[in-house]
Structure 1
Amino acid sequence: MDSVTVVDHPLVQHKLTFMRKRETSTAGFRRLLREISLLLCYEVTRELPLTMEHVETPLAEMDSPVLEGKKLVFASVLRAGNGLLEGMLDLVPSARVAHIGLYRDHATLEPVEYYFKAPEDLSDRLTVVVDPMLATANSAIAAVQKLKERGARDIRFVCLLAAPEGVAKFTKAHPDIPIVTAAIDEKLNEKGYIVPGLGDAGDRMYGTK
């Protein structure tokens, strides 16, 4: 799992524990996801290239670092990906946004696409795909493939939780894509849910079943 980074920061792990709790409210779950997404965003953007810009402070002139190149893209796998997206946009409000609409067929566990909208010039931008759960990995694999077909070349995947089976399947399909996650849980159950997990992230975020 060399391509996987587990963000073990105490704040991430603390907030994740409260998200796992059955009794956490919809509002609490949504707030915690937004807070964790900020911390995950710090990690996935750690190696963004910098260039120097000459600025004048109230006291002196200096050369100071700024981000180099075109603004990055956050690609949300609908609908649960929007929970991570909102927090990341708080941190990087100038980022472009792509939306990838996929739902999981509960009989086959395969992804079904219903929507795709992305900036045209993905080839020159870092694209960060966000989806809270990397379970069977079918949706994540399909989302990344769609972005590659659109021209994206520098892609990273961010999730809240991952299953070992999902990590293995995703890295086999896209060995060039790094994964950033808060935890790798024990396994998938027979219905394709992460165990112990936290349930269905979309349902808990939006109060649906």
Structure 2
Amino acid sequence: MLIHNISNQDSILNSFLSEIRDITIQKDPMRFRRNIERIGEILGYELSKSLNYSSQIIKTPLDNCNVNLPTNEIVLCSILRAGVPLHNGLLNYFDKAENAFISAYRHHKHNPESFEIIVEYLACPNLEGKTLILADPMLATGQSMLATYEALKPFGTPKEIHLVSVIGAQEGVDFVNNNFDKDTHLWIATIDEKLNEKGYIIPGLGDAGDLAFGQKLQQ
């Protein structure tokens, strides 16, 4: 897997990351969503550098102009509900992309510290030969990302796969690295040290879905 950790180089991304972590700023859900969206825009810009381009002639009011434009057929898939702001940020840049949505959540059976990933709702276009972007803001264990990809397989084989996350734990990064093809790209804003006993990223930011859309009842 090709891992692109954008925080390895200082940029304005640091400001957005600091705000989504800050427990005081987190009290404003609208700002939290907007910051995730802005991080998605940055990740989308970096990802765009790896796409295929061809020269096209654009007619201006004064003359013709040659411009290299991306040729990839992109399908953008996000994991509900936490993935929505990240999806919007990516869609701001890949505005011609087709879209897929999937629900994948942790189901705690008997022990609150153990869980399985349940996939229910799924809407997806044909993926055959296209560029698939899987977006999930928190790459904790990596199981949700893999479960999502497995659920998408009946829709066709993508030409290439890009995983996009805001914050990941090293354990989750290692998991997707070991379970996705070596040509898969991971675009991630930053990588944190570890997971706690409940599978949450440390230091992380908490539950991205709750911070963006309000607390939910546990299943």
TM range (shorter): over 0.9
Question: 1:55 corresponds to which residue?
Answer: 58
The match for 1:157 is 163
Give 5+ residue unaligned stretches, structure 2: none
Instruction: State the SS of the aligned residue for 1:15.
Output: helix
For 1:204, what is the secondary structure of its paired residue?
Answer: helix
Provide the residue aligned with 1:6 in structure 2. Answer: 5
| Runs of 5+ unmatched residues, structure 1 | none
Q: CA deviation at 1:80?
A: 0.7
C-alpha displacement of 1:61:
2.2
Task: Give the superposition deviation at 1:78.
Answer: 1.0
Residues 143-172 of structure 1 show CA distances to partners (whole Å, capped at 9, x for unaligned) of 122223422321110000000111111111
Q: What amino acid sits opposite 1:23 in the alignment?
A: T
1:122-147 Cα distance to aligned partner (Å, 9 max, x none): 11211100000000111111112222
Q: Does 1:36 align with 2:10?
A: no
**How far apart, in 1, do the equivalents of 2:84 and 2:166 lie?**
12
**TM-score normalized with structure 1 length:** 0.92
Which residue does 2:180 correspond to in 1?
Answer: 174
Residue aligning to 2:92: 90
Q: Give the total of aligned pairs.
A: 206
**Matches of residues 1-150 of structure 1 in structure 2 within 5 Å?**
3-8=2-7, 9-24=10-25, 25-70=28-73, 72-106=74-108, 107=112, 108-120=114-126, 122-150=127-155
Aligned residue type for 1:58: P
Q: % of aligned pairs identical? A: 34
Instruction: Give the match's secondary structure for 1:124.
Output: coil
- In the TM superposition, what whole-angstrom CA distance separates every residue of 1:28-64 from its partner, at most 9, and x where no partner exists? 1111111111101111221211112223223322332
Q: Pick closer, same or farther for the CA change 1:152–1:44 going to 2, 3 Å.
A: farther
Q: Does the 8 A contact of 1:128 with 1:156 survive in 2?
A: yes
Q: CA RMSD in A?
A: 1.5
Q: Distance in 2 between matches of 1:191 and 1:104?
A: 11
Residue 119 of structure 2 aligns to a residue in which SS?
strand
Query: Does the 8 Å CA contact 2:72/2:131 hold for their aligned counterparts?
Result: no
State the 1:67 CA deviation.
2.1
Report matched runs for 1:184-195 at 5 Å: 184-195=191-202
Q: 1:131 is aligned with what amino acid?
A: D
* Corresponding residue SS for 2:43: helix
Matched position secondary structure for 1:100: strand
